[in-house]
């Protein structure tokens, strides 16, 4: 490996570790942005310099987190950030010759890998926060009570929240927590992979052609993974919460398929800009639109009705 590539990989790892540490302090919004962009330098290294450089950057970053924080933080970083960056960038650069043409690893299979890592992160987070429902419930109740006493009480006109309301909020939070963890992890992986791809493409270092995102599709086996995870999420207990944490990233992946279907079907329409703008704005404020997109993506994966339409003319 050239010395300059090695140095760049080390620098990328150090940057990621510093951003990770910075995400624990400062304003709340800034912490969220820093947390989401923590892996970006690793993905840039993987797509621009190759998987070996990504591995060096990931190891450097994990050691940095270990020195800056503690072994537990380093373990969480390795599972949630370092490993997904190595694997996903490696898969993105895989290709083979098929009948004289270069065929690149499908985006849908990369999304499956990202979903598996995200589900694993959700399961790990639930285990670390408490190995059973009672412990999780007590922890969340303490968090809710602290928020009500220290934050909500300082907001003028805030409603009075008593013990009954706190218990209700705690129960709702308990069952929504694995979904939030899975979606956050999946969103972080996909966001950084996309950003790194756009940056390396603009710099001329992206080693694969930019894919047609409107043709994004999931493999058929992912359908069974989603349905099984959703079914298991109803069994209750910690196992049900873990299953929900696995179902969440797969749901997001199928929602992206649904979004790709809308992009594909609206090509050539004079209402395309209006439809897409309304859709993206709606997703931010109406959660049910995301669910409808996931159902659309699931139907597309099963029936492949998009392939019966007119072939896309230009990627978008």
DSSP string, 153-199: GGSTTPPP--HHHHHHHHHHHHHHHHHHHHHHHHHHHHHHHHHHHHH
> For residue 98, what are the β-bridge partners?
101
Cα distance between residue 63 and residue 94, in whole Å: 28
Half-sphere exposure of 114 (CA within 13 A, CB side): 33
Q: Give pLDDT < 70 ranges for the chain.
A: 1, 26-28, 151-158, 307-316
Q: What is the pTM assigned to this prediction?
A: 0.88
- Tell me what percent of the residues of the chain surpass a pLDDT of 90: 46
Cα distance between residue 72 and residue 58, in whole Å: 16
Residue 163 neighbours by CB under 8 Å, 6+ apart: none
pLDDT at 304: 83
**Quick one: which of 219, 192, 180, 226 has its CA closest to 84?**
192
Cβ atoms < 10 Å from Cβ of 33: 13
Contact 183, 247 (CB under 8 A): no
Q: Which residue has the tokens 């083979």?
A: 96
By CB atoms closer than 10 A (0-12, 13-18, 19+), residue 132 is exposed
Q: What is the pLDDT of residues 91-145, one digit of tens each?
A: 999 999 888 888 999 999 999 999 999 999 999 888 888 777 888 888 888 888 8
Cα distance between residue 195 and residue 174, in whole Å: 32
pLDDT at 315: 46
Q: Which two tokens stand for residue 18?
A: 């510093």
- DSSP designation for 235: S
Query: Whats the size of the chain, residue-wise?
Result: 316
pLDDT at 312: 45
> For residue 103, what are the β-bridge partners?
96
Q: Which two tokens stand for residue 104?
A: 């690149």
Query: Taking the domains of the chain in order of start, what are their residue ranges?
Result: 1-93
Cα distance between residue 90 and residue 236, in whole Å: 37
Cα distance between residue 296 and residue 303, in whole Å: 10
């Amino acid at each position: 490996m050239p010395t300059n590539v090695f140095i760049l990989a080390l620098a990328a790892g150090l940057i990621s570790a510093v951003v990770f540490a910075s995400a624990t302090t400062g304003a709340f919004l800034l912490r969220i942005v820093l947390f989401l962009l923590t892996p970006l330098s690793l993905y840039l290294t993987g797509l621009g310099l190759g998987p070996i450089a990504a591995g060096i950057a990931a190891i450097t970053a994990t050691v940095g987190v270990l020195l800056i924080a503690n072994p537990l933080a380093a373990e969480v970083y390795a599972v949630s950030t370092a490993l997904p960056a190595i694997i996903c960038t490696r898969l993105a650069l895989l290709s083979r010759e098929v009948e004289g043409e270069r065929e690149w690893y499908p985006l849908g299979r990369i999304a499956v890998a990202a979903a598996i890592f995200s589900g694993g992160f959700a399961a790990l987070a639930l285990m670390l926060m408490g190995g059973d429902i009672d412990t999780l419930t007590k922890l969340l109740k303490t968090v809710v009570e602290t928020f009500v006493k220290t934050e909500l009480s300082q907001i003028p006109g805030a409603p009075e929240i008593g013990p009954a309301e706190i218990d209700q909020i705690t129960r709702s939070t308990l069952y929504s927590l694995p979904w939030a963890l899975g979606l956050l992890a999946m969103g972080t992986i996909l966001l950084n992979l996309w950003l790194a791809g756009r940056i390396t493409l603009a710099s001329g270092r992206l080693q694969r052609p930019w894919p047609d995102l409107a043709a994004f599709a999931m493999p058929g086996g992912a359908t069974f993974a989603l349905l099984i995870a959703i079914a298991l999420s109803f069994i209750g207990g910690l196992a049900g919460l873990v299953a929900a944490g696995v179902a969440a990233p797969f749901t997001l992946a199928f929602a992206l398929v649904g979004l790709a279907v809308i992009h594909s079907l609206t090509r050539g329409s004079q209402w395309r800009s209006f439809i897409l703008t309304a859709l993206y704005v709606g997703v931010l404020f109406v959660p049910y639109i995301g669910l409808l997109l996931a159902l659309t993506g699931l139907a597309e994966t099963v029936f492949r009705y998009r392939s019966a339409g007119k072939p896309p003319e230009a990627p978008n």
